[in-house]
Copies of this chain bind each other. A is one copy, B any other.
């Protein structure tokens, strides 16, 4: 087995208290003693047990991260960013994929409490507000990302979804599109904000907001594809679609292709997130970029600040989304479609 503090103490001929002080650089320890202890620790390749140390009231140096689904590139990328930052700051990350199941949310929260994580990051789509309140009551720091729960006073870092929705729609409008549809993810707060941005932009540009042009679906390629097929089958189909994320946008592309529509010449699509997918699909997606890496780093930093008790007030940070123009959007030309002037 691994050596313990007792092994070090014995071999160095000192007490475990002394060794502990050397490890933690506190208390006053003579130069000679310190040197000797350090040497022995080196020799034995001694690694203090985080368990024992945490039991006495210190950190576990672990944070829990709850995300809906790691196979979604958006969450994979944000998780990667959080993981990197956490390790830079001396914390490890326990990943829990909830798959949007409320049962799992509850199970994982309880698991993380039993493991005494120092704090938790809840990424988008967390459903049970009561569970969060519970953690907060127990005094464990919680931070939210990509979702804001206004009723709770929590540290939050997210992108400005409203503005993103607005920007996407306004951009399509600026290209001459008037009949613009939106396909959004179902039952997600951030999605609602994006829709609001879409609606406001439409109104501001003087276009009619037609409920049949707003679809809320499961966030899958098929979901996006089916919704698009329905939209394209309308009497007056849209000339552009704003997809609430890139998985959906890919579904849109698929559907357009099956309708023999060329993107971007016959039809425009804009996505949201700017993950690997946007660059990889064909044509590369014009999209509203979230500063994914920055979100991940910042949420970790804030959580750790709170863990350290350095934070006075809760922070709610909203980062600006950015339009990234690629090849899936184009000016509306009178082309294949008939449009009212």
Contact = CB atoms under 8 A, between A and B. Distances in A.
Interface of A: 1-2, 47-52, 54-55, 60-62, 69-71, 73, 76-77, 79-80, 83-84, 87, 92-97, 104, 107-108, 110-111, 113-116, 138-139, 221, 250, 276-277, 279-283
B115 A250 contact: no
A116 B104 CA distance: 25
Given A69-B80, A70-B76, A94-B95, 20 more contacts: A1-B139, A47-B114, A48-B114, A50-B115, A51-B54, A51-B55, A52-B55, A61-B115, A71-B80, A84-B97, A87-B97, A87-B104, A87-B107, A92-B94, A93-B94, A94-B94, A95-B95, A221-B280, A277-B280, A280-B280
Contact of A55 (B55, B76, B108): B55
B276 A73 contact: yes
Contacts of A281: 280-282
A280 B279 CA distance: 11
A243 to B, nearest CB: 14
A94 to B, nearest CB: 5
A104 B62 CA distance: 17
A126 to B, nearest CB: 17
12 contacts: A1-B138, A48-B114, A50-B114, A51-B60, A52-B55, A70-B70, A73-B276, A76-B76, A79-B95, A84-B97, A250-B280, A280-B280
A76 B87 contact: no
Nearest to A140: B2
Given A92-B96, A138-B2, A282-B281, A70 B51 contact: no
A271 to B, nearest CB: 12
Nearest to A54: B51
B69 A95 contact: no
A83 B97 contact: yes
Nearest to A275: B71
Contacts of A77: 70-71
A330 to B, nearest CB: 17
B97 A115 contact: no
B114 A49 contact: yes
A32 B83 CA distance: 47
Contacts of A84: 97
A122 B139 CA distance: 35
A115 B71 contact: no
Contacts of A71: 73, 76-77, 80, 276
A70 B74 CA distance: 11
